[in-house]
């Protein structure tokens, strides 16, 4: 099964993708995570992407479609791919169709996380992740069970994203409205779009997504 999780910054795409990985053995393909890894490693892609990401703008379609194509060639994605933060433009949506078709694969669902933008600023500003395993947390909504210790790997080191400040979040949301939300009709026309209430608590959103994947949504 191949699905897209679609929604603005802080909608919960990464949170739900990680849950699907652990529950269903699917693989999260987050272009944001891949780009952050490239920035950290100082690769040519990372050097091009760094300033664009810090400004909250979109990295070029050619770069992201290139990294997704490479990732789809790794065998672990055969178990099912969760596209998180990709595609983000009409051009990316069209190249994803091509990338999947070339590999004899197809999209099963596009799951839109419906959210209230004002609440998202708080979600994004309060977010932090484990520096070792990447598990996601939140100052208010999802603290580690033992303060200062990652639930998953036991690490004591956490980090915050440089683009998670109120001003950059506004730019990221504007980019979503202008370039990403307009791709929904493309997928509506194919009958692939399903909606979940992204304002519900994390477990409830997971339940709604599971119902869709099990054909009951
Ligand atoms: P990316 O990394 O994709 O960031 P984003 O789309 O802005 O989304 P976020 O990761 O901020 O939010 P999320 O939906 O994953 O929320 P999360 O689950 O963490 O992209 C970053 C940048 O990279 C872009 O700005 C762009 O520059 C570049 N880029 C990436 N892909 C690109 C592409 N395809 N094309 C061009 N450029 C690209 O949740 C947020 C917080 O809320 C967490 O703390 C979580 O614990 C909490 N939370 C989650 N769900 C709930 C809930 N239901 N209730 C309460 N709290 C919740
Ligand atoms: Mg994310
Ligand atoms: Zn960890």
**pLDDT tens digits for the chain (217 residues)?**
999 999 999 999 999 999 999 999 999 999 999 999 999 999 999 999 999 999 999 999 999 999 999 999 999 999 899 999 999 999 999 999 999 999 999 999 999 999 998 889 999 999 999 999 999 999 999 999 999 999 999 999 999 999 999 899 999 999 999 999 999 999 999 999 999 999 999 999 999 999 999 988 6
Tell me, using a 6 A CB cutoff, whether residue 136 lines ligand 1: yes
Q: What pLDDT does residue 164 have?
A: 94
126 found inside a domain: no
Q: What pLDDT does residue 68 have?
A: 96
Q: What is the CA radius of gyration of the chain?
A: 17
Q: What pLDDT does residue 160 have?
A: 95
Q: What is the pTM of this model?
A: 0.95
Query: For the chain, how many structural domains are there in total?
Result: 1
166 found inside a domain: no
93 found inside a domain: yes
Tell me which residue range forms the domain holding 87: 2-115+180-214
Cβ-contact 15, 9 below 8 angstroms: no
Q: What pLDDT does residue 41 have?
A: 97
Query: Could you identify the atom of ligand 1 that is nearest to the CA of residue 89?
Result: 35
Distance, CA of 72 to CA of 147 (rounded, Å): 37
- Judge whether 15 is annotated as a binding position: yes
174 found inside a domain: no
- Judge whether 57 is annotated as a binding position: yes
Q: What pLDDT does residue 98 have?
A: 97
Helix ranges (H only) for the chain are 13-24, 31-41, 44-55, 61-72, 90-102, 117-125, 166-175, 184-188, 202-213
- The predicted-structure confidence for 33-56, as pLDDT tens digits, reads as follows 999 999 999 999 999 999 999 999
105 found inside a domain: yes
CA of 147 to the centre of ligand 2 (A): 23
Tell me, using a 6 A CB cutoff, whether residue 129 lines ligand 1: no
Query: Could you identify the atom of ligand 1 that is nearest to the CA of residue 12?
Result: 18
55 found inside a domain: yes
Gap between the terminal Cα atoms of the chain: 15
120 found inside a domain: no
**CATH number of domain containing 193:** 3.40.50.300
Tell me, using a 6 A CB cutoff, whether residue 82 lines ligand 1: no
139 found inside a domain: no
């Amino acid at each position: 099964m191949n699905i897209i999780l679609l929604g603005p910054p802080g909608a919960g795409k990464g949170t739900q993708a990680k849950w699907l990985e652990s529950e269903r053995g699917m693989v999260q393909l987050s272009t944001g995570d891949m780009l952050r890894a490239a920035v950290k490693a100082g690769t040519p892609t990372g050097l091009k992407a760094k300033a664009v990401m810090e400004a909250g703008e979109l990295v070029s379609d050619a770069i992201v479609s290139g990294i997704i194509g490479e990732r789809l060639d790794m065998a672990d994605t055969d178990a099912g791919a969760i596209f998180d933060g990709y595609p983000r433009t009409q051009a990316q949506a069209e190249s994803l169709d091509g990338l999947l078709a070339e590999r004899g694969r197809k999209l099963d669902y596009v799951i839109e996380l419906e959210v209230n933008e004002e609440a998202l600023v708080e979600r994004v500003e309060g977010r932090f992740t484990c520096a070792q395993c990447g598990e996601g947390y939140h100052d208010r909504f999802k603290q580690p069970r033992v303060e200062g210790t990652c639930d998953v790997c036991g690490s004591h080191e956490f980090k915050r994203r440089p683009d998670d400040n109120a001003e950059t979040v506004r730019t990221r949301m504007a980019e979503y409205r202008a370039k990403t939300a307009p791709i929904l009709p493309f997928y509506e026309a194919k009958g692939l779009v399903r909606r979940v209430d992204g304002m519900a608590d994390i477990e409830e959103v997971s339940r709604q997504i599971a119902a869709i994947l099990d054909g009951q949504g």
